[in-house]
Amino acid sequence: MGRWIWAVAVAMMIGDGGVSMAGSPYAVMDELTLGRVEIEDGFWSPRREQLRAVVLPTQWENLEANHHVDNFRVQAGVKPGVQLGPVYIDSDLYKWIEAASYVAGKHPDDEWLRGRLDEITGLIEKSQAPDGYLDTYYQAFAPDRRFRLLWNDHELYCAGHFFEAACASDEATGDQRLMTVARRYADLLTATFGPGMNEGVPGHEEAELALVRMYRRTGEPRCLGLADFFIHQRGQDPHYHRDILRTIRERAELTLLVAERRRQVLGDGPAAKTVSGLPAVAWFFSPGVFKSVFSGRYYQADRPLLGSTAAVGHSVRAMYLYTGAADLYLETGEKPLLDTLDTVWTNTISRRTYVTGGMGSRGAIEGFGRDYELPHRSYAETCAAIGSFFFNWRMLRATGEARFAEQMERTLYNAVLPGIGLDGRSYFYVNTLAAHGRTERQPWFGCACCPPNLARLFGSLERYLYARDASGIWVHQYVGGTAQFDGPFGRMKLEMKSAFPWEGRAEITVREAPAGTVAARLRIPAWSERSEVKVNGAAVSAPAAGSYLTIARQWRSGDVVALDFAASPRLILGSPQVSADRGRAAIAYGPLIYCVESVDNPGVDVHSATIAAQAPLRAERRPDLLGGIDVIKTATVNGRELTAVPYYAWANRGVSDMEVWLKVR
């Protein structure tokens, strides 16, 4: 696509109303479009530049090396070969497209990025089947079996990620080509699924939230209707057990068929190793999985969502389901849905979530265990944390309650960010809270869901910082930069300077203000020990930590709001209900959770090192260490010095022992 088209697209984006095309009628607040927010921040700007310069290019190399892109070249008929990789392989590329679109929207001059997006967009256009279907695995091997193995075969999961990529491309770059493909695919889905038609539901949720996103982007009510069907149909199938047994039998047949087809093309060479498939069937019967799958819990299909009380089963699936359900509420106002989600949230956060915000403690099912089952060799998949971040954003928009923004902050810094190394080219899929050596980030994974998921969240971070409503503006996260709000109150622009996460100081300068009164709602973080807020030097009384302060006034350009949230390093004592946490404590400082690594503490066994409950904790600025951090210094009861680093920064200096929860007495 020529540069001028991009320029026109960006101009169109800036010229829009500043919120989603279809404002969600039941949202307390509207999100700002990405073009309305710029990030200029000491902590986040280097990471965002790294996203453009390192993360996206190296992820592309891995997508090329692992056949993600070639599958589309083969399907499009521009390269000979055979489809390779797992059944969900397309989704990883779609997430990369979503991330790359956000970044390309901010950097229309990045020729490399534009070239990749252009190429893959063309390949996707050519790959789509005449009736709108799109899935390289099924198109290659089993076009007659599509939408039959929904529980595990990820067709609708891939479709969902494709829809999100298309919406992102449309929103961020103005390029409509993927949206045209997506509309045709959505038409096929809405003509295929529903009462009296195929009454199956996505085995891995994602299509639900993506269909709501498509609805918001296109105004097509059938997309919303299908999301509604998928969410309410889940857990209703009286023949679930028959269906899961059929799934296993047909999966085995298809696996053999795919293996044979790949062997015909590749022979028995090394490439044919990707033919593995029998493990996919054996998995159903493996220890720790069997019960979860056959009960339906693994898929959140053991009962309808309405009336559920806590997150169960595969944690990414669960978070995407709740995200989609919250999205549905924002459009339909179905109150019982919001009440259920609130109950699920409360129980899940208080009993099934790590201190970092990480979720999913059982590795076998990549999912939730019982209440308080939170061992320190945690699974806590990076994608589950990202899903939780998305879910909390919808709940925040539905309610305006600060607890959801708090959870987003906690999760972002302590459960999402640890998923990527400081080098921008290594990743954790599993995020343990205790390491006995051996644990290192990897450049890529056979199941590559997490790396591009991180990229798309970091690429769209603008979306989650602010919001607006009829009477004014919301500031949820203190990340430096600028924001422009256009509402019934007129236009307001502000500039944010922030010392987060190291210090709880931020300064907001009004750069443009309308004539009338505008309410500014500012989050007072839950960890703030003493909150001082001043408008043009005059103190404003701040409400309790963990809520929003509202300042309604006639703002003028040049007004300054200074926020100072005092924080000192603190110990979070382990809950007696969590057996792994008993007699242990985690160090926290502001929004950050800390850990102790052996590399900083030679001669100390970090697993048995014991600190006093009243041990003094001292923050020390270390601009030279790990990209610039504050370490926390304390001492063991034996008088040995201990140095703790932010958990997000661990495992960047070779293999180390590590503990988040220190012994305490």
Any idea which residues carry the catalytic annotation?
Answer: 366, 449
- Asked if residues 383 and 416 have their Cβ atoms less than 8 Å apart, the reply is no
Residue 620: CB atoms within 10 A of its CB come to 11
Least spacing, CB of residue 656 vs Zn ion, in Å: 23
DSSP code of 601? S
Nearer to Zn ion, 55 or 599 (CB): 55
Least spacing, CB of residue 432 vs Zn ion, in Å: 15
Least spacing, CB of residue 86 vs Zn ion, in Å: 13
Nearest to 503 by CA among 569, 560, 550, 561: 569
Nearer to Zn ion, 317 or 521 (CB): 317
Q: Reduced to 3 states, what is the DSSP secondary structure of residue 219? A: coil
Phi and psi torsions of 574, nearest 5°: -60, 145
Provide DSSP, 311-348.
--SBHHHHHHHHHHHHHHHHHH--HHHHHHHHHHHHHH
Nearer to Zn ion, 455 or 496 (CB): 455
- Asked if residues 362 and 379 have their Cβ atoms less than 8 Å apart, the reply is yes
Q: Identity (one letter) of the amino acid at 652?
A: N
Nearer to Zn ion, 341 or 383 (CB): 383
Nearer to Zn ion, 432 or 531 (CB): 432
Structure tokens at 79: 């390269």
Judge residue 564's burial from the number of C-beta atoms within 10 Å of its C-beta, 0-12 exposed, 13-18 middle, 19 or more buried.
middle
Nearest to 356 by CA among 427, 316, 410, 409: 410
Calpha distance 22→214 (Å, rounded): 10
Name every residue whose Cβ is closer than 8 Å to that of residue 323 and which is 6 or more positions away in sequence.
Answer: 209, 387, 390, 391, 394
- Asked if residues 137 and 89 have their Cβ atoms less than 8 Å apart, the reply is yes
Looking only at the bridges linking them, the beta strands covering 547-553 and 629-635 are: unpaired
Least spacing, CB of residue 445 vs Zn ion, in Å: 8
Nearer to Zn ion, 380 or 473 (CB): 380
Least spacing, CB of residue 386 vs Zn ion, in Å: 8
Name every residue whose Cβ is closer than 8 Å to that of residue 419 and which is 6 or more positions away in sequence.
Answer: 382, 385, 427, 428, 429, 431, 450, 454
Least spacing, CB of residue 427 vs Zn ion, in Å: 9
Q: Whose structure tokens read 């995020």? A: 431
Q: Which residue is nearest to Zn ion (CB)?
A: 383
Least spacing, CB of residue 281 vs Zn ion, in Å: 22
Nearer to Zn ion, 450 or 611 (CB): 450
Nearer to Zn ion, 88 or 527 (CB): 88
Least spacing, CB of residue 241 vs Zn ion, in Å: 28
Nearer to Zn ion, 254 or 448 (CB): 448
Provide DSSP, 91-153.
HHHHHHHHHHHHHHHH-TT-HHHHHHHHHHHHHHHHHS-TTS---HHHHHH-GGGTTS-TTTS
Nearer to Zn ion, 434 or 450 (CB): 450
Least spacing, CB of residue 184 vs Zn ion, in Å: 28
Looking only at the bridges linking them, the beta strands covering 518-524 and 547-553 are: antiparallel
Nearer to Zn ion, 24 or 91 (CB): 91
Calpha distance 500→504 (Å, rounded): 6
Calpha distance 575→372 (Å, rounded): 9
Least spacing, CB of residue 255 vs Zn ion, in Å: 23
Calpha distance 429→419 (Å, rounded): 7
Q: Identity (one letter) of the amino acid at 110?
A: D
Q: Which residues bind Zn ion (CB under 5 A)?
A: 383, 449-450
Structure tokens at 378: 């945690």
Least spacing, CB of residue 96 vs Zn ion, in Å: 13
CA 381 from centroid of its chain's CA atoms: 11
Calpha distance 501→417 (Å, rounded): 13
